[in-house]
């Protein structure tokens, strides 16, 4: 019995190790995989941020500010890092670390550990899309669940309260002025796991409690706060990119799955994230010392059934 359980755990661990991290991939740039990628300013405001992933600020004289009570499960790469009271960062790679908070691993802290960053650490790490010279003057208003919008260039898009805009996977919607999501609205791809793309010449603005799922968003505006994600919003499997301006993530937002933020400036009120989980792996709550395979007698356990069944106490 013990050998079976150990074998199942080993399979699960192997699958976890094979799953790519939630990250923007920049080969040759320190760890090479980043949840948050900033050029000039990156600030975690004080509060209950609890995130998993790596963070980089390229500014050779800049400081990543980690507000009080934040918890960063990952590595911060920066010229300097300030860690506020009660905040904890797993690892720091920096020329200096200050503040009353804790960096658990400071083995790569000191002059020369960050500066100068590798030439591979360039901004932006993603291609900046071109905006068409000619664009329709049509204003789009979505005010019902399931509203569809095909690829093309539009003047302005508004998704009204509690409405849902569905975009075509693999296709691009361009917006000349503003893209706005009102309270409780959603913007989603028509194919789960396959993203649609939105490119906005102006700002992308949301009110509270919106959903963005499988939609990669680029705002070409800036400088300034040109991507604004409202309180309590959920962004799932989407890359938000501001190559010329700021992304401002507001309190209570959640970044789910393969979601990343890339911007000149990142201003982050308390948020959480849920990194991608490997399909089929049974992940029990930490309080459960062991696990069983639901509805399968122990003498019939196999790796396949272990990965297909729910955890039970």
> What is the DSSP-derived secondary structure letter of residue 21?
P
The predicted structure's pLDDT at residue 264: 98
pLDDT at 47 over 70: yes
Tens-place pLDDT, residues 232-284 = 999 999 999 999 999 999 999 999 999 999 999 999 999 999 988 665 545 55
Dist. CA 246–CA 242, nearest whole Å: 6
The predicted structure's pLDDT at residue 116: 75
Tens-place pLDDT, residues 177-230 = 999 999 999 999 999 999 999 999 999 999 999 999 999 999 999 888 899 999
pLDDT at 292 over 90: no
Mean pLDDT of 9-36: 62
Dist. CA 53–CA 299, nearest whole Å: 39
Report which of 109, 125, 164 is spatially closest to residue 36, judged by C-alpha positions: 125
Cα-atom radius of gyration of the chain, to the nearest Å?
Answer: 21
pLDDT at 61 over 50: yes
Tokens standing for residue 311: 């955890």
Sign, CA torsion 248/230/187/281: positive
Tens-place pLDDT, residues 118-160 = 888 999 999 999 999 999 999 999 998 879 999 999 999 999 9
- Longest Cα–Cα distance of the chain, Å, equals 69
- Residue 245 sits at φ, ψ, to 5 deg, of -145, -150
Query: How big, in percent rounded to 5, are the helix, strand and coil portions of the chain?
Result: 10, 45, 45
Give me the residue label for tokens 């329709």.
136
Provide the 3-class DSSP secondary structure of residue 274: strand
- Mean pLDDT score across all residues of the chain: 86
pTM: 0.82
């Amino acid at each position: 019995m013990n050998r079976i359980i150990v074998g199942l755990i080993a399979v699960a661990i192997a699958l976890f190790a094979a799953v790519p991290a939630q990250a923007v991939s920049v080969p040759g740039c320190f760890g090479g995989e980043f949840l948050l990628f900033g050029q000039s300013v990156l600030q975690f405001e004080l509060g209950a941020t609890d995130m998993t992933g790596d963070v980089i600020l390229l500014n050779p004289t800049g400081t990543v500010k980690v507000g009080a009570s934040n918890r960063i499960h990952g590595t911060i790469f920066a010229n300097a890092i300030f860690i506020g009271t009660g905040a904890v960062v797993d690892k720091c790679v920096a020329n200096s670390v200050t503040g009353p908070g804790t960096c658990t691993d400071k083995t790569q802290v000191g002059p020369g550990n960050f500066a100068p960053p590798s030439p591979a650490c360039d901004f932006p790490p993603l291609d900046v899309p071109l905006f068409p010279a000619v664009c329709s003057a049509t204003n789009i208003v979505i005010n019902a669940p399931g509203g569809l919008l095909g690829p093309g260039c539009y003047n302005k898009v508004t998704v009204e309260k509690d409405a849902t805009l569905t975009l075509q996977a693999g296709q691009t919607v361009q917006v000349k002025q503003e893209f706005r999501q009102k309270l409780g609205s959603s913007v989603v791809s028509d194919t789960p796991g396959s993203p649609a793309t939105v490119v906005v010449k102006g700002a992308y603005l949301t009110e509270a409690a919106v959903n963005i799922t499988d939609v990669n968003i680029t705002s070409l505006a800036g400088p300034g706060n040109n991507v604004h994600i409202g309180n309590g919003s959920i962004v799932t499997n989407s890359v938000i990119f501001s190559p010329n301006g700021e992304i401002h993530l507001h309190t209570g937002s959640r970044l789910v799955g393969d979601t990343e933020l890339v911007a000149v400036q990142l201003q982050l009120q308390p948020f959480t994230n849920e990194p991608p989980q490997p399909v089929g792996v049974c992940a029990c709550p930490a309080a459960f010392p062991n696990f069983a395979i639901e509805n399968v007698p122990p003498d019939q356990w196999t790796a396949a059934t272990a990965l297909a069944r729910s955890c039970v106490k």
